[in-house]
Structure formats: structure tokens, C-alpha cells
């Protein structure tokens, strides 16, 4: 599933515990400096050295700790300005360092960096606790929150105040000293475990791969895949062979096209067993410990389970409401899977394959059914999907919906030569809006998947600050000078991540902690999933889905086939995702009983009636969303929750003048894309749509009957 990074509330508040460990050289540490250059300053990616991270983090934490102490010990009576605004202004140095640190963690990772990460993760966690557990500071926040003067603040100011108050309480600000100490121990231990979990998955994705040595082993693979596998062989120092890497972007196409059932099974087993192979990179024991610590922490904080704690400030509010939605969709989706499998089995039987459909057959036969039923060959579509043309397409859509213009810039440093940057301006006024960094290709040390990241958020507390956002993906870089062709799914992912970027770029708020994409976890995927709809609009396809050799637009007949098959395979896609979301939620509703992840997964799926032909999209031992941090824990359901909004919201365009209806787009900007977390998301949605969301559009979009 597409992923997304948010700068956590805790990071915005962050501080330090290690003033004594400061290195005398840090005064000249370039990671600490104010960002220089055009556009209000840009990240100094050209000055990063891994050895600089630790001293920079230490000094930035120490600096923030001093700022926090000044706020907490202010002799003046607490008010919004001297407390909340002061907090919003604090920690800027650490924000800058952590931005660079985050980019290295996700895209430039390596053994040297991992040593720093293992040391700094628990220290950053302890540092965050030191702020939320600062009693004089909390007393001031509480006083502002409870003051009658609050009623005179603007709605945004009131919401920011509420957020500080509620987030401090949720982080344990009200606990007694012993409980606070235990809470901080738990958070530090969790930070260590999260780091080990992530590094284990990365190790198995890097160290394991399949080497193909003969034409016979390449049977069925299209040329683009052979080229990618040959390129991968070079990086793995396996000259003259073809390498299938242990990442989704390498495995999924192999499972789709390889005629070699034995190799499909081998590839499938390698991929689904990441983190579950015993030995030094096995994640099972780590998961058991994470779950126990989370359960203990939830109890300390006064919640029955980790899931209840996580969902309190979400749009769903309770795990029960999230479960209700998942259960409403689960049965119709499973019913559809049985139909899909029957179609595949019939086709296999007809071809005399003499097999029973197994998980490693699903994608392969799914493709054959797609051809048989809709006369649609994905390989026929791909030549029209050039990465760079589609990038122009998303720019054009942003111009139509939000009046944005994109101009390439070369005067800012980047972390890697493959990364390119564009300036975003208003088409009419020419006003600078922000910067968009694009890091499209897979490389060693870059985590798999696709995600958006904000390097700097829009705000007005520290002056007119414009945003800097990035989109990151793992496309396989083609041969020099040749266009990179991507699949329909990948094109859809590009629109998705760009939706997050637009959410950041449209931000129009005052306070940094409520800017851009820093909204409730189950709301944040709404703008991004909504953007996916624009890929299939005729306006985009006619202009940007151009054949890489002839330059001709994708034929209407092919588009019709794509549209007719829109709900094809939704059983698989939904069950693959939803099984993972359900296991995530049930793991975090289980309380403090000791959990064996493999057994829990197996038993839960059996109870759910999981079709045996499908495996969870992320099996527990590799479920990075859930175990690399707290952020998507008990929160993987968010994609479905947001998709209810997405499907329903697109209806506003359909009922209007179509996908480029300016009036609807303006409402979308005003009530959704520009407001960040300044309003309650349910209210924002209602203002946009004129009513609450309904589930009907989602069921229709996925081709399910709501009744079954």
C-alpha cells in the first residue's frame, strides 16, 4: 500500500537530555545551520555526512531543551502567546536536523547510518518524553486551555491549544512520577525495537534475491522485466544473469508473468517470509515484545488497549467503529475472491494445467483472466505510460484543480543525482508556493514502496514560510536515454503520492503543528486517494498517456477496456489489504496477553475465513506500517476509512460538471486541501460535501454488493 510520512507532533515539540555529551566541533556542524539559498532556504543535502548526525541531533536537542525550559519557567502568567506560540516557535533547529536524518533513514541508509540510528532512536524517544513530562510546561498549557480567554482566540488558535493539551495528556502528562518513569522506559525500549524491526526487514530485502541463469528461467517475462532484472544483476554483482530482488516492485511483476510455477513459488515464499526466517533477522520475538509494551503503556494511560489509545483522536474515534466498517466490506470482498478464484481455476483447467490455484498462481492467472474477460493486456497499456509524461500529467492536473504551475530548478542541492526539483507557483499571480522534490528510482539503501515527505511545512508564525515537499518511489531505472515505462498501478500510485504533495502545497494555515498533512491518520489518505481518480480522466490520457515510440495517445478502445475492467480483481486487492488491516487491529485489541505472531496471524485468518489463495499484503513479521513506529499501528484500516470519503467525494465532481469542475475544486481546496488540522475533519468534509459521507460509493467503486 502507498505510504506516507508525517512529522509527528512529538518531533515538533522535541527536546534533549544530553547537554553534557556535546561535542566542541558542533558549532560548525553544517546540519545545524539555518537553511540558506533561494526560496527561504533549502535543505543542505550536499553537506550531509553520516558522522555529523549524532552531534547535530545532540546539540539541536539541547538547544530545544533550553527553549522549553525558558517557556516553562516564564514568570509571566501563561497565555496563548507566551506558551502555545512560543512552543510553535521552539525546536526549529531540531526540525531541520531531523528532516535530513529522516531522508537518510529512508533513502540513503547503510551500515554506518544504522549504527547512528540504533543509538539515537531511544534517545530521541526519551527526549520527547522529557518535554511531555515537563510538569511546569504542562501546567501552563493546561492553564491556557482552561482559561476563559480561550473563547476569544480564533478557531485555529483554539484548536492548536486543544491539540497541545490533548496530546500532552495522551502522552502521560497527568501521570504520577513512577508511572511517567515507566512510560519513558517503555517508549525508549519501543524505539529500539522499532529500529531493529525495520533494519531486519531491510536486511532480508537486501540480502535475499533470486538469480536466474538461463532463457528457460525467464519464460513469460516481458522485455521490460528482463531489462530490469539484468540491471539488478549488475548491482548485485551477478554479471550475465538476471536478478529478482526481494522487494514488491520486483516480485509482483515476476509473479504476474513468469511461466515457471516452481520459480513463482520460490519468489513468493522468499517475499512473504521476510522477517520470519529464524536467525538474526527474525522479527517474531520483537513483535511479541512490542505488543506487550504497547499494551502496558495503554493501561498506564488509562485505555483498555493500544487500539483504543491510538484511535481516540482519529476520525473513527473507536476501534469498534473501524471494525464495523472493515467487517461491512470483508464479507462481500471474500465472496468476490471466491468468484475470482473460480474464474482462474476454470481457465487453468481449460489449459490443461492440472493445478489447484495457490497464492503464487493468483497474479499469474488473474492476468490471464483479465485478457480472456476484458481482452486487456497490461503489457499493451504499459508503452503508453511513460514516467516523465505522467509526471507532466500530474502537473497539468494540479494546474487545472489548484492553479499551480511547475518549473524545474537546478539551483538547489539534492541527496542523490537522480533527484530533481521543481518550483511551484500560482499560475495567475506567479507567487511562490513551494518546492517539490522527486526521487523516483530504487537504489541500495532506499526503503521500498512510495511515500510523500514534508521537508518544511507552510506556516506564518515564523514569517511567511513556504513548504517543501517530496515524492519518493522505487521505479526501476531504465537504460540511459530510454523512457521508463510503468504499470497502471504504478501510475495510480504516482497520482496518490502527488495527492499528498498537493495536500502539503495547498496548506494555508498560521501554526506549523496543524499545517498540511498533519491531520488525523484516518483522514490523511483521503486527499491522496482522491487524486488517483484523475489518472483515468480522458483529459489526462489524451494528453499524457502517449506511446513511447509513436507519440500517439492511448487508443479509446484500450481506454474503454480499462474502464470496463475497473472493478476487476477488487476481491483480491481488498482482501489482501483488509486481512492485514484486521490482523493489525486485532493484535492491538488483544490486550496484554503474550502473543506468538505466527500463531495469532494463522488463527485470526482462519476465524475470518481468509481465502487460502491469498496472503496478507504485509504479513506480521514484515508489517513496517505497524512495527517500524507507532504511526500506523492499529491504523492500517485508515486507507479503507479514507477511501469511503474518497469515493463519496469524487461523486461531488461526477454530480457537478465532471472531474475538472472549478467550483467543486475550489470547495475541495477551501475545506479539505488548505485547512490542515485547523478544523475537525468530519466538519471539513461536511462543509465540502454538504453532508456526511456514505459507504455506497465505495462499494460501487469496488464492485461489491452492500447487501451480501
Q: Which residues bind Zn ion (CB under 5 A)?
A: 2, 4, 525, 528
Q: How far is the CB of 4 from Zn ion (least distance, A)?
A: 4
Q: Which is nearer to Zn ion, 228 or 668 (CB)?
A: 668
Q: Tell me the C-alpha distance between 547 and 554, whole Å.
A: 7
Residue partners of 492: CB distance under 8 A and separation at least 6: 532, 535
Considering the complex, state which of residue 98 and residue 525 has its C-beta at the smaller distance from Zn ion: 525
List CB contacts of 421: < 8 A, sequence separation 6 or more.
408, 409, 410, 412, 414, 435, 436, 437, 438
56 in Cβ contact with 29 (< 8 Å): yes
Decide whether 79 or 630 has the Cβ nearer to Zn ion. 630
Beta strands (DSSP E) in 566-615 are none
Please, which residue, 453 or 528, has the CB nearer to Zn ion? 528
145 versus 526: smaller Cβ distance to Zn ion: 526
Residue 583 grid cell: 490482523
CA dist., res. 332 & res. 337, Å (int): 9
Burial 97-134 (b: 16+ CB within 10 A, else e): bbbbbbbbbbbbbeeebbebbeebbbbbbbbbbbbbbb
Question: What's the closest the beta carbon of residue 473 comes to Zn ion, in angstroms?
Answer: 12
Q: Give every CB contact of residue 89 below 8 A, 6+ residues apart in sequence.
A: 67, 461, 462
Residue 630 Cβ vs Zn ion, minimum distance, rounded to whole Å:
17
Nearer of residues 497 and 613 to Zn ion, judged by Cβ: 497
Q: Of the two residues 510 and 528, which places its CB atom closer to Zn ion in the complex?
A: 528
Beta strands in 199-310 (DSSP E): 209-212, 242-245
Min CB(462)–Zn ion separation in Å = 28
**How would DSSP label each residue in 499-541?**
HHHHHHHT---S-GGGSTT-S-TTTTHHHHHHHHGGGGSHHHH
**With respect to Zn ion, which residue has the nearer C-beta, 370 or 521?**
521
Min CB(493)–Zn ion separation in Å: 9
Rounded to the nearest angstrom, the gap between the alpha carbon of residue 285 and the centroid of all alpha carbons in its chain is: 25
Residue 423's alpha-carbon distances to 88, 403, 405, 469, 540, in angstroms, are 26, 14, 8, 11, 22
Q: Is 501 left (phi over 0), alpha (psi -120 to 50) or beta?
A: alpha
Q: Give 301-305 contacts, CB < 8 A, sequence gap 24+.
A: 301/170, 301/172, 301/175, 301/183, 304/591, 305/588, 305/589, 305/590, 305/591
**How far apart are the C-alpha atoms of 652 and 544, rounded to whole Å?**
25
HSE-CB for 512 with a 13 A CA cutoff: 30
**73, 136 contact by CB (below 8 A):** yes
Burial state string for 348-372 with b = 16 or more CB within 10 A and e = fewer than 16: beeeeeeeebebbbbbbbbbbbbee
CB of 500 to Zn ion, least distance (A): 6
Active site residue 217: no
- Choose the catalytic residue: 340, 367, 423, 497: 497
d(CA 469, CA 440): 14
- Write down the number of H helices and E strands in the chain: 28, 8
Dihedral angle, C-alpha 160, 164, 166, 170, nearest 10 °: 150
Task: Tell me the C-alpha distance between 346 and 348, whole Å.
Answer: 5
Q: Which is nearer to Zn ion, 67 or 525 (CB)?
A: 525
Name which of 1 and 334 has its Cβ closer to Zn ion: 1
CB of residue 615 to Zn ion, shortest distance in Å: 22
Q: Minimum Å distance from CB 613 to Zn ion?
A: 27
Q: Could you tell me where the DSSP H helices lie in 351-418?
A: 359-374, 378-381, 387-402
Taking the C-alpha atoms of residue 440 and residue 449, their distance in angstroms, rounded to an integer, is: 11
Residues linked to residue 469 through DSSP beta bridges, in sequence order: 436, 454
**Cβ 454 to Zn ion shortest distance, Å:** 13
Residue 674, classed as helix, strand or coil, is: coil
Of 217 and 522, nearer to Zn ion (C-beta) is: 522
Q: Say if CB 170 and CB 212 are below 8 A apart.
A: no
Residues annotated as catalytic (active site), given as ranges: 497
Amino acid at each position: 500500500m502507498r505510504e506516507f510520512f508525517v512529522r509527528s507532533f512529538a518531533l515538533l515539540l522535541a527536546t534533549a537530555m544530553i547537554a553534557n555529551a556535546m561535542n566542541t566541533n558542533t558549532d560548525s556542524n553544517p546540519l545545524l545551520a539555518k537553511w540558506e539559498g533561494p526560496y527561504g532556504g533549502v535543505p543542505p543535502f550536499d553537506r550531509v555526512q553520516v558522522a555529523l548526525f549524532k552531534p547535530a541531533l545532540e546539540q539541536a536537542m539541547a538547544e530545544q531543551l533550553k527553549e522549553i525550559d525558558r517557556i516553562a519557567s516564564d514568570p509571566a502568567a501563561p497565555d496563548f502567546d507566551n506558551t502555545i506560540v512560543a512552543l510553535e516557535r521552539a525546536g526549529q533547529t531540531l526540525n531541520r536536523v531531523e528532516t535530513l536524518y529522516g531522508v537518510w533513514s529512508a533513502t540513503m541508509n547503510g551500515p554506518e547510518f544504522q549504527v547512528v540510528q540504533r543509538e539515537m532512536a531511544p534517545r530521541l524517544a526519551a527526549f520527547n518524553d522529557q518535554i511531555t513530562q515537563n510538569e511546569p510546561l504542562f501546567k501552563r498549557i493546561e492553564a491556557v486551555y482552561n482559561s476563559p480567554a480561550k473563547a476569544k482566540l480564533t478557531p485555529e488558535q483554539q484548536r492548536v491549544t486543544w491539540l497541545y493539551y490533548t496530546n500532552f495528556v495522551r502522552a502521560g502528562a497527568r501521570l504520577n512520577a513512577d508511572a511517567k518513569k515507566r512510560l519513558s522506559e517503555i517508549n525508549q525500549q519501543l524505539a529500539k525495537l522499532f529500529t531493529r524491526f525495520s533494519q531486519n526487514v531491510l536486511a532480508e530485502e537486501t540480502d535475499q534475491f533470486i538469480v536466474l541463469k538461463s532463457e528457460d528461467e525467464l519464460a513469460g517475462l516481458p522485455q521490460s522485466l528482463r531489462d530490469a532484472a539484468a540491471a539488478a544483476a549488475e548491482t548485485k554483482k551477478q554479471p550475465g544473469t538476471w536478478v529478482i530482488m526481494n522487494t514488491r516492485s520486483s516480485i509482483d511483476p515476476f509473479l504476474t508473468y513468469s511461466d515457471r510455477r516452481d520459480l513463482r513459488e520460490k519468489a513468493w515464499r522468499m517475499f512473504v517470509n521476510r522477517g520470519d526466517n529464524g536467525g538474526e533477522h527474525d522479527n517474531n520475538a520483537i513483535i511479541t515484545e512490542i505488543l506487550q509494551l504497547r499494551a502496558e503503556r495503554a493501561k498506564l494511560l488509562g485505555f483498555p488497549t493500544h487500539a483504543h489509545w491510538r484511535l481516540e483522536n482519529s476520525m473513527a474515534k473507536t476501534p469498534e467503529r473501524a471494525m464495523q466498517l472493515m467487517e461491512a466490506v470483508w464479507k462481500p470482498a471474500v465472496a468476490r475472491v471466491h468468484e475470482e478464484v473460480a474464474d482462474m481455476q476454470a481457465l487453468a483447467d481449460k489449459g490443461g494445467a492440472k493445478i489447484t490455484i495457490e497464492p503464487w498462481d493468483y497474479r499469474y492467472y488473474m492476468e490471464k483472466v483479465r485478457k480472456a474477460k476484458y481482452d486487456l493486456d497490461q503489457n499493451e497499456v504499459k508503452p503508453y505510460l511513460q514516467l516523465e509524461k505522467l509526471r507532466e500529467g500530474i502537473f497539468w492536473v494540479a494546474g487545472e484543480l489548484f492553479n499551480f504551475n511547475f518549473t524545474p530548478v537546478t539551483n538547489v542541492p539534492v541527496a542523490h543525482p537522480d533527484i530533481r526539483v521543481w518550483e511551484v507557483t500560482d499560475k495567475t499571480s506567479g507567487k511562490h508556493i513551494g518546492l517539490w522534490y522527486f526521487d523516483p528510482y530504487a537504489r541500495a539503501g532506499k526503503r521500498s514502496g512510495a511515500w510523500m515527505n514534508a521537508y518544511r511545512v507552510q506556516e506564518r508564525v515564523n514569517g511567511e514560510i513556504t513548504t517543501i515537499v517530496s515524492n519518493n518511489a522505487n521505479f526501476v531505472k531504465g537504460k540511459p536515454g530510454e523512457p521508463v515505462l510503468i504499470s497502471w498501478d504504478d501510475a495510480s500510485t504516482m497520482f496518490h503520492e502527488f495527492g499528498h504533495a498537493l495536500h502539503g502545497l495547498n496548506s494555508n494555515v498560521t501554526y506549523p503543528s496543524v499545517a498540511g498533512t498533519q491531520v488525523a491518520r484516518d483522514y490523511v489518505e483521503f486527499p491522496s486517494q482522491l487524486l488517483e481518480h484523475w489518472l483515468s480522466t480522458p483529459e489526462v490520457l489524451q494528453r499524457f498517456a502517449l506511446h513511447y515510440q509513436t507519440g500517439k495517445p492511448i487508443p479509446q478502445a484500450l481506454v474503454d477496456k480499462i474502464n470496463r475492467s475497473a472493478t476487476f480483481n477488487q476481491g483480491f486487492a481488498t482482501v489482501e489489504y483488509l486481512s492485514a488491516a484486521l490482523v493489525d487491529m486485532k493484535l492491538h485489541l488483544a490486550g496484554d496477553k503474550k502473543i506468538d505472531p505466527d500463531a495469532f496471524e494463522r488463527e485470526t485468518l482462519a476465524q475470518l475465513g481468509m481465502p487460502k489463495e491469498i496472503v496478507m499484503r504485509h504479513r506480521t513479521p514484515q508489517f513496517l506500517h505497524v512495527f517500524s513506529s507507532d504511526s500506523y499501528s492499529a491504523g492500517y484500516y485508515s486507507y479503507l476509512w479514507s477511501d469511503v470519503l474518497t469515493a463519496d467525494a469524487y461523486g461531488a465532481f461526477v454530480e457537478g460538471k465532471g472531474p475538472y469542475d472549478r467550483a467543486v475544486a475550489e470547495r475541495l481546496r477551501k475545506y479539505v486541501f488548505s485547512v490542515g488540522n485547523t478544523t475537525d475533519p468530519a466538519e471539513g468534509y461536511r462543509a465540502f460535501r454538504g453532508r456526511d459521507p456514505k459507504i455506497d460509493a465505495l462499494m460501487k467503486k469496488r464492485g461489491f454488493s452492500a447487501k451480501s
